[in-house]
Structures are given as structure tokens and as C-alpha cells.
Structure 1
Amino acid sequence: MSKSLHQDICDKIRFSKLYEKYAQTLSNILYYKYGERLNPSDKVQEAFIKLWENCAKIKPETAKSFLYTTANNMMLNEVKHQKVVLKHQKIKPKDYTNESPEFILRKKEFLKRFENVLSQLKEEERVAFLLNKVDGKTHQEVANILNITKKVAEHRIYAAFKKLKDALEELN
């Protein structure tokens, strides 16, 4: 025999014959063992893909065992995954807080007031402030974005901050 045994499975014709010989039987076994819900035919396809990817490493006499073991392991992994999914579906999201209704109301009022004061700032102060505090830009980056000097950027940010602090201080 001039060809090595490893090349037998990598041959497309021989691989097709392996598929024809084992695919339906393997699919039926997985179906009987695990049911339809876990898509046994998909696992069979994936097992054959793994066989093809590793055809040079697998001897023809161990191909059947490789397919059955691989497909079964894939089904077991799917069963484990479904258990995790079910476990997380049972956990109900937290629909309560430890915050008192008074705190929640004060928080909403503060946010309304904050947005109102923010909207009353000069546009240049508001933009510089938001770039710095919300987007996390440095003073130099704000200056570069707005095409102004670093000192002007600092002045606008601090002016906006002071106006916000003064207007919101009474809520504390």
C-alpha cells in the first residue's frame, strides 16, 4: 500500500462514504438518547467537521469512535449549557431597591434641577464642562477640541462647575 493510512480519511470520496455510513445512525442514537430539542443532527454535522479538521491525525479504524465520542460530548456540553440557562431563568431580577421613596423622589428632583441649571449655562461653558466631566477629556483635550487655549478651557469648566454648585447647593 503506497498511501499512508492517515490520508484515507482526508480523501473526499472516503470521507463522504464515512458520512453516508455513520451520519444517520449517529443522529438517531443522539436523538433517542437526548431528544430533538438539543438538535442532534447539528451535533453530528459538527462532529464530522471536527473529523475533517483532524483527518490527518485520526486513523481510519478509529474514525467511528472519534465521531461517536465527539458528538456525544457535544450533546453533553449542550445539556450542561441548557442547565445553566434554566438556572439563570429561574433567578428573578431585582425589582426593588434599598432606597427609601423619599430618597428616590429627592434624586429625581435633583436630576431635574441639575438638567435645568445645565441648560441655563452659556453654551461654551456647558460644552466645555460636559466634555471634561462626562466624556472625561482633559483640559488640554477640551481646548484642542474647541480650538481655544487651555486657560480658557479651564475657566469655562470651572465657571460652569461653580454655577452648578451654587444653584444645586440648596438641595443638600
Structure 2
Amino acid sequence: MTKELPENVCKEETFKSLYDSYATELHNYLYYKYGEKCSPNDTTQEAFIKLWENCKKVVSSKARAFLYKVANNSVLNDIKHHKVVLRYRLDKPSEVTNEDPEYLMRQEQYFKKYQQALAKLTEEQRVAFLLNKVEAKKHKEIAELLGVTRKVVEYRIYSAFNVLKEELDEFHI
């Protein structure tokens, strides 16, 4: 007496049979439980797509439970996301600042001048400087990335500082 293996849902006929049996039922369940806002049509389709993607793992006797669980979790995740969005809208920082308009203007001027100063650096200086200051990489890491010695990296960063200091002298940094 051989034990029959449960049939998975990868066979097209089996999947179609499951779809015909449960699609309307799942749609109605979602509609009655969560309303039209949860897009029961889309959620039902997504649940069946997940079932197809996991067809080798799901046996046909467990397919209904799988579909309901996937659809329910999808709706709950959407609701959770919607709550986060609503909370963000309520906690949105105000666009008004207490900074002096002159300060804001100077800040903008500084940023433009800084961009121009970065453009004046050699490519080697700029890469080493930005890797160190923007990406917070250590001199040793930069040396390994660029295939140079640590001393070369230190020189490039030091010389970049000198150029920036000279270019941004009017800002008293």
C-alpha cells in the first residue's frame, strides 16, 4: 500500500479549479471585512499570484487557507502603511524656519561656492576627499579602493582641504 503524495497546485488544471472555486469567495470576504478601500479585486489577484509563485510549496488541500492568509496579510499591511502615511502628514515639519533671511542667503551662497570649489579640485583629490568626508571612509579603506598607498590618500585629502580653505576664505571657516 503506497501513500499518495498530496497534489501541489503547479498543474494548470488544479490552479484553474482553485481559482474558479475560491476567487469570488475570497473577493467577497475581503469586501465584507474591509470594504472597497482595500481593493478586493486587486488583493484577490495578488493572492492568487502568490499562490502561483509558491505552487510547489502549497498542496491543494491547504490552498484555501494560504489564499486567505496572504490576502488578509496584504490588506493589513496596506492599512498599516496608510496609518504611517497619515501620521507623517500630521507630524510633517513646518516649512517655516526661524532663520534670518540673510543667514539663508549666505547659506545658499556658501553652497554654490562650495560646489565651485569642489569642481576646482583634481579628480583624485575630489574622490579621496568625498570618500572620506561624505561616505566616512577611513584612509586605509580609501587606499584599498583606489589602489594607492595610505600616504597618497592623506596627501590628496590634505591638498583638497587647502584648496577648499583658500576658495572659501571669505566665509571664515
TM-score normalised by L of structure 1: 0.60
Q: CA shift at 1:20, angstroms?
A: 0.5
Q: Deviations over 1:75-130 (max 9, x none)?
A: 12211111112222223233133433443344456567x47x96xxxx9xx34398
Range moving further from structure 2, 33-42 or 47-56: 47-56
Whichever of the two has the greater Rg, that structure is 1
Q: Identity of counterpart residues, as a percentage?
A: 36
2:170 alignment partner in structure 1: 168
| Cα distance in 2 for residues equivalent to 1:161 and 1:56 | 60
| Cα distance in 2 for residues equivalent to 1:157 and 1:56 | 58
| Structure 1 residues 98 and 132: alpha-carbon distance in aligned structure 2, compared to 1, 3 A threshold | farther
| Structure 1 residues 32 and 104: alpha-carbon distance in aligned structure 2, compared to 1, 3 A threshold | same
Q: CA shift at 1:58, angstroms?
A: 2.7
TM-score normalised by L of structure 2: 0.60
- For structure 2, the residue ranges without an aligned partner over 5 or more in a row are 133-138, 144-151
| Cα distance in 1 for residues equivalent to 2:80 and 2:22 | 25
| Cα distance in 2 for residues equivalent to 1:134 and 1:78 | 43
The one-letter amino acid of 2:46's match is: E
Count of aligned pairs: 150
| Cα distance in 1 for residues equivalent to 2:88 and 2:65 | 35
Q: RMSD in angstroms over aligned alpha carbons? A: 4.0
Please identify runs of 4+ aligned residues in structure 1 that moved more than 4 A: 108-112, 132-138, 156-163
- For structure 1, the residue ranges without an aligned partner over 5 or more in a row are 142-149
1:48 and 2:48 aligned = yes
| Structure 1 residues 6 and 105: alpha-carbon distance in aligned structure 2, compared to 1, 3 A threshold | same
| Cα distance in 2 for residues equivalent to 1:67 and 1:162 | 63
